[in-house]
Structure 1
């Protein structure tokens, strides 16, 4: 774990032994894989210091030096804040993980008219703490899907986490309740997903679609009700991926009427149960479990911390 400290608008990191000999350019490019445009902004606006002095981006770093970056500036707020109670699973100066309730959009489709989304609620929370910065959504969940969702509190964190998501350095584990007893009990669904020409929002397995891979394991069966509880995780992040793949397998999500599920419950029975990644600024391995929020309970007698 790295030695870090916040100093007002500045973030300070003590250079570890494994960074000795690397340059600031190398840290931004190779360690954090930050976008060139954002890196250029930090360089031109002198937002990086070494031991309090303007950084030379091409001189090798020395173990124990203080790398300081201006990460926590005030910003012009772009999202209208709205008070809605949120369930926080993890928070530090850089990242925020929320347990999203079902029946809530992640972000507004129309920023001026749609203000009852999770992004609006998180923006209110951030400003209520005196943090006048735009919250950055790293990934999304469907309106009816509940569970862990990640936000970044500043531009560098947002860019790093976006790249980690793209490069599959973040693991998202879901719990799904589906129709039928699934055989085999463990498998990989590797089928491309594309748009359905006959429906504006629906997706389908399509030879011309984007590559998509879903892993699953049966964690519990209810043979009397002909239902299965599946642990799922993704190598890709296509729209409706789990819903499409499980429907293609012949085991649609319960409640997912768009993809052939029966309305036994009020929503598609899908929950983002666990989120895992290595924190880019502390190197700590973060594991967040999201407790179930449904009343009445959908996922019965499942230990969320065993997934």
Structure 2
């Protein structure tokens, strides 16, 4: 694990064996796989120092070299934030933050009038802790889906996490309750998903849609319902909801896709989030406790899924 220390607006790394003999260019382009444009900004804006001097990006690092990277430039938010919501934090450090998103809250605004989103609550959270940074979500959850969602606190961690998401290196485990008893207890649904031309918000399985892959495993059955764990290879809008509706087992409470209206929302929860820390390389595992009142998922220990 790479050890880092925050020094004001800078991150300090004392070079150890992991980086010895590598250049700053190697680290940005090979280790972290940072996009060319962002790498160029770090190079041109003099935001990487080695032993107090402007870094030579092509000079090999030595054991004990003191590398400073300016990551925490204070950025004033685009608008005044007046939205407060006490969202549960599952993990937080200088680089990333994981929230446990409640139901009936969009991940991000769809227009300027939409002020009550998780992004607003997240921005308020970091500002209330004295951090004047602009954060953004790495992935998203539907408005009425609860659970773990990952945010980046600066451009470098955001770029690295974007790449990890694209390469399926961020593992998300969902729990869902679906109508009926599924015949195949463990399987993969691989069906492309596209827009429904007859409904503004619906999606549907369509040959012309985008590739979508959902792995699932049934772990409990009761009262005409199946409890399933799901893992996504892709992150299409409404993917789990569309796929289970397509195989004849819509999510309970999901009125949009034919689920029985036993709950006020679809029974879908992002229960577990696993990823390699974008900076330190530490393995991070976050479990998201159930927060619905009254509860939807009963008799399930989220920490043992």
Matched, 1:231 2:240: no
Matched, 1:106 2:107: yes
| Whole-Å separation in 2 of the counterparts to 1:48 and 1:69 | 5
Residue correspondences, number: 304
State the secondary structure of the residue aligned to 1:243: helix
- Residue 213 of structure 2 corresponds to 213
What value does the CA root-mean-square deviation take over the aligned residues? 1.0
**CA drift at 1:80:** 4.2
Do 1:189 and 1:213's aligned partners in 2 also have CA atoms closer than 8 Å?
yes
Bigger Cα displacement from structure 2, 123-132 vs 16-25:
16-25
- Residue 46 of structure 1 corresponds to 46
Matched, 1:74 2:50: no
**CA drift at 1:79:** 5.1
State the secondary structure of the residue aligned to 2:18: helix
- So what's the TM-score if we normalise by structure 2? 0.97
Do 1:79 and 1:120's aligned partners in 2 also have CA atoms closer than 8 Å?
no
- Residue 86 of structure 1 corresponds to 87
- Residue 123 of structure 2 corresponds to 123
Superposed CA offset, 1:187-218 (max 9, x none): 11111111111111111111111111100011
| Whole-Å separation in 1 of the counterparts to 2:233 and 2:50 | 38
* Aligned positions of 1:166-205 closer than 5 A: 166-205=166-205
Q: 1:266 aligns with which of 258, 264, 267?
A: 264
Write out the 4+ residue segments of structure 1 that deviate beyond 6 Å after TM superposition.
none
| Whole-Å separation in 2 of the counterparts to 1:165 and 1:174 | 16
Matched, 1:292 2:294: no
| Whole-Å separation in 1 of the counterparts to 2:302 and 2:3 | 32
- Residue 6 of structure 2 corresponds to 6
Bigger Cα displacement from structure 2, 70-79 vs 39-48:
70-79
- So what's the TM-score if we normalise by structure 1? 0.97
Do 1:182 and 1:228's aligned partners in 2 also have CA atoms closer than 8 Å?
yes
